[in-house]
A and B are shown apart, each in its own frame.
Chain A
Amino acid sequence: MGSFMLRRIIYVIPALIAVSLISFLVIAIPPGDFVTRTAELRAAQGDIMPIAEQDAMRRAYGLDLPIMVQYWNWITGVLTRGDFGYSFSFNLPVKDVIWPRLGLTVVLSVASLLFIWVVAIPIGIYSAVRRYSAGDYLATFLGFLGLAIPNFLLALAVMYVAFAWFGMNVGGLFSPEYLEAPWSWDRVLDLLNHLWLPMIVLGTAGTASVIRVIRANLMDELHKPYVTAARAKGKGEFGLLMKYPVRHALNPFVSGQNDIFVEIVSGGTIVAIVMGLQTTGPLLLDALRTQDMYMAASFILMLSVLVVIGTLLSDLLLAWLDPRIRYQQG
């Protein structure tokens, strides 16, 4: 186990380097930068920005350096000082903006993951045991629907229903009075009060796929000889189910958690934009539109780091759960 963990953790390092390169280059390589975007905006207001002023601004922000030098300066700042560079549009260091947003993103993502587990595992087991019952068909149908409805459309529909039928305005993660307030119990309760809706919206697609995975795997296990043997020995049906076949069926489920977590973080961006959540999504979109380079790169970097860490944790969990994996690779 120890050597497997070590190997797996070392493998994270090249992944992180590649991720940081990609997140920076995606922003830096395309033509145009924050200065050209500002000049365009000013020009639209009838205020022409002289070339000399543009160049001076570029020099001040360090945008005139070669891309790889800019990348090096940025990434060494991130690693050594926790300094993510400067946000041009906020006129603030990126780190002041990014951490609270990232914290809420983690909270929302983990909440959605827990929601998926709590909902999908029991339904998946039920579907497999009561195969072709009315409940199974209902679960399968809802599962397909959950996969087919895009996250943002579901968010729109939920907001519409809440607004038109219940008169609630459900955007955001906080009530207005707690938006800028320091953390307190009331603020946490307010957050929980707002969190459940985006959590469900974000969790539907994952729930659907987890139900399918558990149903398929459990159905394969249910008729294996070891189940018959345990039943012949007089073990109770429920205890038997939980002790043997469900544990077998959970392995593929755990290894599928990587993809689901990636989906949650990825889809969370769009849900957050539509529902106006105070997570990374809306700011990332704004930063990309205004070419606020360090801000956008830092957001993509940290979202990817979140995913890489999530993948690492789920791999370690799988190795702990299923000895075959650590013997095979460790």
Chain B
Amino acid sequence: MSTFDETTGQVAPIAAVHQRGRGYDGHWALVWQKFLRHRLGVAGGIVVILAYIVALIPEFLAPVTLEAYNPSYSYAPPQAIQWGRDDGEGWRFLPHVTAYKTEIDYNSGRRLFVPDPETVIPIGFFVQGEPYRLLGLIPTDRHLFGAVEAGQPFFLAGADRLGRDILSRTIYGTRISMTIGLIGVALSLVFGILIGGISGLFGGVVDNLIQRFIEFIQSVPAIPLWIGLAAAIPQSVPPLQVYFLITIILSVLGWTSLARVVRGRFLAMRSEDFVKAARLDGCGPVRIIFRHMLPSFLSHIIATVSLAIPGMILAETALSYLGIGLRTPIVSWGVLLQEAQNVRTIASAPWLLLPGGAVVIAVLALNFLGDGLRDAADPYSD
């Protein structure tokens, strides 16, 4: 394999290309080295890994459980953490938040929460709280942080209509929101590789038909169709099944871009020398695809997949926000945003938009990661 240099018009010998690595690095080592040079991509990757860690152990990271509620703290505003306290004998270190006093605003007739500096709620790391099973296995009651005395009001990001902690619920929502993208994309990938592979492998009429079909699907406005399909799920279907139905609905229209990438790679690679060599060596088509072709375009598939996940997350959030996607007790960021239905509610409790911030960060990080991976997927070009 040799590369053509456009500026000098020279064909660079193989050795020169490989000097970019250490000369003896394999494909994946080169991909990894190129990815590390894309700093935004690396940063995005770290955020994505953190998000999936949160998705794995929300019970430990969240101060309270999903079900914890207290109607007397309805729409309580976020508390500020204070690091110490002056108790007459001088300042001493005591991380805490303060409790609320309620006041009635006689102009609007609304109940207002004001911080009550007299009542101190000490907070700390690894506090005892509601018992749960870590990873579904290890029984424990420790939470990463929270009020030292369980049950006291601790709302770092405010509370919703029923007095539930927004921060804890957003942490729990990570699990569903981050996995629905993964499962949706995995389904799309199956469709995409199958159909794109058939299209690229057979070529001719089959390829033409499949390409027209893909163009057609891409030209249908997705959101009205998604709304149509999602609204067709009866109310009586249990929430877990709704979750799977929604992933199927998302991937019904989502597989096309993956199919195009796979087909393009198949077409480009069909005439490569190493594929020809494998065929001359007497390899069957299955062995050629999985042993010789797939490894060399796997990096492209990974990049396309990571760019497809954010679209799924955005679609799920939008559907759930409209009330036709996921339903409680399953909690995703979109389900949480349902609380922010109208402007007046948001104006009086802007912290309800916190799950939206989580969506933006997740999508941004996945986009950066995908960009970095896409650049790294082809480590031989510059």
Question: Which residues of A are at the interface with B, using a C-beta cutoff of 8 A?
Answer: 15, 18-19, 22-23, 26-27, 29-32, 144-145, 147-153, 156-157, 159-160, 163-164, 169, 171, 258-259, 262, 265-267, 269-270, 273, 284-285, 288-289, 296, 299-300, 303-304, 307-308, 311
Interface string of B341-357 (1 = CB under 8 A from A): 00110110010010010
Q: Does B187 contact A (CB under 8 A)?
A: no
Asked if A150 meets B228 with Cβ closer than 8 Å, knowing A159-B343, A265-B221, A307-B221, the reply is no
Which B214-242 residues sit within 8 Å CB-CB of chain A? 216, 218-225, 227-229, 231-234
- A160, B224: Cβ atoms closer than 8 Å: no
Smallest Cβ distance from B134 to chain A, in angstroms? 32
- Cross-interface CB contact of B317 among A29, A150, A157, cutoff 8 Å: A150
Which one, B80-88, B104-112, B281-289, B358-366, is touching chain A? Answer: B358-366
Q: In the docked arrangement, what's the CA distance between A156 and B357, Å?
A: 12
Chain A residues, Cβ within 8 Å of B229: 26
- Cross-interface CB contact of B343 among A160, A267, A269, cutoff 8 Å: A160
Chain A residues, Cβ within 8 Å of B359: 150, 153
Q: In the docked arrangement, what's the CA distance between A26 and B233, Å?
A: 11
- B353, A157: Cβ atoms closer than 8 Å: yes
Chain B residues, Cβ within 8 Å of A169: 343
- Cross-interface CB contact of A267 among B223, B225, B321, B367, cutoff 8 Å: B223
In terms of DSSP, what is the predominant structure of the interface of chain A? helix
Chain A residues, Cβ within 8 Å of B347: 160, 163-164
- Cross-interface CB contact of B221 among A31, A273, A289, A303, cutoff 8 Å: A303
- Cross-interface CB contact of A285 among B216, B219, B322, cutoff 8 Å: B322
- B343, A163: Cβ atoms closer than 8 Å: yes
Question: Which residues of B are at the interface with A, using a C-beta cutoff of 8 A?
Answer: 216, 218-225, 227-229, 231-234, 310, 314, 317-318, 321-322, 324, 337, 340, 343-344, 346-347, 350, 353, 356, 359-360, 363-364, 367-368
Asked if A152 meets B221 with Cβ closer than 8 Å, knowing A27-B228, A164-B347, A269-B227, the reply is no
- A22, B363: Cβ atoms closer than 8 Å: no
Smallest Cβ distance from B366 to chain A, in angstroms? 9
Smallest Cβ distance from A82 to chain B, in angstroms? 21
Smallest Cβ distance from A192 to chain B, in angstroms? 22
28 A-B residue pairs with Cβ-Cβ distance under 8 Å, sorted by A, are: A15-B216, A19-B220, A22-B225, A32-B234, A145-B360, A147-B363, A147-B367, A148-B310, A150-B317, A150-B356, A150-B359, A156-B353, A157-B353, A160-B350, A163-B343, A163-B346, A169-B343, A171-B343, A262-B220, A266-B221, A267-B223, A269-B227, A270-B318, A285-B324, A288-B232, A288-B324, A304-B221, A307-B220
Asked if A266 meets B318 with Cβ closer than 8 Å, knowing A147-B367, A148-B310, A153-B360, the reply is no
Q: In the docked arrangement, what's the CA distance between A194 and B216, Å?
A: 34
Chain B residues, Cβ within 8 Å of A157: 353, 356
Which chain A residue lies CB-closest to B319?
A270
- B219, A26: Cβ atoms closer than 8 Å: no
Chain B residues, Cβ within 8 Å of A22: 220, 225
Q: In the docked arrangement, what's the CA distance between A221 and B216, Å?
A: 32
- A26, B225: Cβ atoms closer than 8 Å: yes
- Cross-interface CB contact of B216 among A18, A159, A163, A303, cutoff 8 Å: A18
Q: Besides A150-B314, A153-B317, 19 other CB < 8 A contacts?
A: A18-B216, A22-B220, A23-B228, A144-B367, A147-B367, A150-B356, A152-B321, A153-B359, A156-B346, A160-B346, A169-B343, A265-B221, A269-B221, A270-B223, A270-B322, A285-B322, A289-B231, A299-B224, A300-B228
Chain A residues, Cβ within 8 Å of B322: 270, 273, 285
Smallest Cβ distance from B173 to chain A, in angstroms? 14
10 smallest CB-CB distances across A and B, nearest first, come from A30-B232, A288-B231, A266-B221, A266-B223, A148-B364, A148-B363, A26-B228, A153-B356, A160-B346, A163-B343
Q: In the docked arrangement, what's the CA distance between A308 and B231, Å?
A: 24
- B222, A266: Cβ atoms closer than 8 Å: yes
Asked if A284 meets B219 with Cβ closer than 8 Å, knowing A147-B367, A148-B367, A160-B350, the reply is no
Could you say which of A15, A19, A150, A311 has the most chain B C-beta atoms within 10 Å of its C-beta? A150
Chain B residues, Cβ within 8 Å of A15: 216, 219
Which chain B residue lies CB-closest to A264?
B221
Chain A residues, Cβ within 8 Å of B340: 156
- Cross-interface CB contact of B219 among A163, A300, A311, cutoff 8 Å: A311
